[in-house]
Amino acid sequence: RQHARSTHPPDRALMAASVRGTPLAALTRASTHPRARRSAGHRLGGASSRISRAAPPGADAAAEQKAAHVAEITARRDEMVAGCVSCTMPDEGDRGDFLADVALGGRSVEAKGEGSSLRVLVVGAETGKLAKSLMHRGASHVLVIDHSQAMLDRAAELFDPPSTSGNAPCVRFLRTDVGDVKPYEGPFDAVVFNDTLASERDPAAALRVASCLVRPGSTVVISQRLLDDVVQNPALPSMDVAAMVADLPLEAAGTAAEGKAMDGEGGTAGATSASAARTEDCCGGSCWTFEVPPLYAMRDAVEMRARVVSGFGRGSRQMGVPTANMDPAVLAPQLERMRRGVYFGFARLPDDPDDASWSKCVINVGQRPTFADGDGVTIEVHVMRTMGRDFYGETMECVALGYLRPEMRFAGLRELVGRIMTDIGLARNCLDAESMRGAVDGKNSWSAD
Ligand code: RBF
Ligand code: MG
């Protein structure tokens, strides 16, 4: 029992400090563990030498910052796994069982039926116990990511190597940042931040990316071991979960069916859902459980009518996704009700005899942060129908019925187009529902394509 957590209060202080992103030098000072000076397994000194290997020369400031942060996290997590793991990752087994239950919420691949899969993304490997619990409880595929290769290697020892195709049920390990997980790895049925979100360089961005990697109806779990002091201390705002989820399509678990106001009441809805989502975990830590609503239907449709103005000329030529830009000047009241992000609905050109019927569409309301010229809010409508011409100056009508996701900054055009294709697929599915057609059926004739 000599490594039991309760006998080593300094290690708890150390964990808490690491959660707040304290520099490693401070962590080393915080460690008064009697063995820290004697045993290599407990020593935290020496990590700073690794930190100094920061970004390659010539990288821009943002990349340099990211590299430095990744190096720091990597060093910290290498040390965690090199040390006494029941000290650096206390209660891992119990937490793994608890989090697997929360993440799966009773779902299992067996219950989903023949040919289905149940995919979970785990951010933070530890020694693999959470992945093990997930597989035992009914996940079919678990992707475990971490910055520490040593930690991933240690966790992988718990499992058979995956089949080459990756189709058979398996656990895979990948050294990457959550922001760099490719969409084709998903979509996931659940994401678990396994005591890692608070130490992300930008926790809000990490959560945003994660919420885009999951499919509608899935679960997002944030677990932190010793976060109480961080949450309650306004001097440490890095984990304001309420603020983080305010603009994301996330609902406190169990409340998603009631529907979140996606139009205008974002701040309040987020705050409510964050506190409603929070529970204490099995071991005195904090756990937030969110659901991505099965259908992001808005309570009230937003109707827009405006002239088509010229955009950046990038949609058709560079992206292969032509968009009609609706004049934002006359849509101020609607813009006030719509958070920035991607919507789906129906659009038509009422004055054009050929295109006066409603077609499915996706709508981006935002500032295109992926591009340098992205400033000023635009309302861009991609109509899922071949029109064979542009329609500058014509009047467009558009009804936004649901919210897909917040706007994001992508690494480049290819990633953006990839995500837009996913948006289009999701939108098409949602809009096939009878209730969706009903929203415009009375207004005009229906166009099936
Ligand atoms: N631009 C972004 O920078 N980030 C986004 O997440 C984003 N999502 C979009 C989703 C859809 C469905 C559409 C049609 C456009 C989106 N855009 C986004 C805007 C895109 O950058 C823009 O259409 C082109 O730059 C042409 O102006
Ligand atoms: Mg355009």
CATH number at residue 419: 2.40.30.30
Confidence (pLDDT) at 27: 33
Can you count the helices (H) and strands (E) in the chain?
16, 14
Residue 179, domain member (yes or no): yes
Among 246, 274, 292, the domain-final residue is 292
CB 255 within 8 A of CB 73: no
Residue 430 has phi, psi (to 5 degrees) of: -60, -40
**Ligand 1 centroid – CA 142 distance (Å):** 30
**Ligand 1 centroid – CA 233 distance (Å):** 37
> Which atom of ligand 1 is least distant from the CA of 369?
3
Confidence (pLDDT) at 190: 97
Q: Whose CA is nearest to atom 2 of ligand 1?
A: 368
Q: Whose CA is nearest to atom 3 of ligand 1?
A: 368
Task: Give tens-digit pLDDT for 359-408.
Answer: 999 999 999 988 877 678 999 999 998 877 778 899 999 999 998 887 88
Domain count of the fold of the chain: 2
Residues 288 and 314 in one domain: no
Residues 197 and 115 in one domain: yes
Q: Residues of the chain whose pLDDT is less than 50?
A: 1-53, 55, 228-237, 256-270, 446, 448-449
Residues 199 and 155 in one domain: yes
Q: Which domain covers residue 238, as residue numbers?
A: 83-292
Residues 135 and 194 in one domain: yes
> Which atom of ligand 1 is least distant from the CA of 374?
3
Using a 6 Å CB cutoff, which residues line ligand 1?
A: 311-312, 314-315, 321, 323, 342, 362, 364, 368-371, 374, 380, 382, 407-408, 410, 416, 420, 423
Residues 323 and 283 in one domain: no
CB 251 within 8 A of CB 291: yes
Beta bridge partners of 366: 378
- List active site positions: 380
Q: Which of 151, 107, 147 is nearest to 129 (CA)?
A: 151
Residues 308 and 420 in one domain: yes
Among 275, 292, 309, the domain-final residue is 292
**Ligand 1 centroid – CA 259 distance (Å):** 26
CATH number at residue 251: 3.40.50.150
Residues 87 and 229 in one domain: yes
The Cα–Cα gap between 136 and 97 comes to 9
Residue 60, domain member (yes or no): no
Residues 300 and 288 in one domain: no
**What predicted TM-score, i.e. pTM, was given to this entire model?**
0.67
Residues 260 and 305 in one domain: no
The Cα–Cα gap between 288 and 290 comes to 7
Residue 376, domain member (yes or no): yes
Q: Whose CA is nearest to atom 21 of ligand 1?
A: 368
Q: Whose CA is nearest to atom 18 of ligand 1?
A: 368
**Ligand 2 centroid – CA 277 distance (Å):** 39
Probe target for ligand 1 pocket from 368, 403, 409, with the most ligand atoms within 8 Å of CB:
368
Q: What is the CA radius of gyration of the chain?
A: 24
Among 292, 319, 349, the domain-final residue is 292
Residues 231 and 310 in one domain: no
> Which atom of ligand 1 is least distant from the CA of 427?
12
Neighbours of 183 (CB within 10 A): 13
Helices 129-136 and 92-104 meet at what angle, rounded to 10? 40
Residues 275 and 368 in one domain: no
Map tokens 């996330």 to a residue.
250
Task: Give tens-digit pLDDT for 347-357.
Answer: 999 988 887 88
Q: Degrees (nearest 5) of the Cα angle 346, 352, 358?
A: 20
Neighbours of 297 (CB within 10 A): 19
Residues 302 and 277 in one domain: no
Confidence (pLDDT) at 397: 95
Please name which ligand lies nearest the alpha carbon of 372.
1
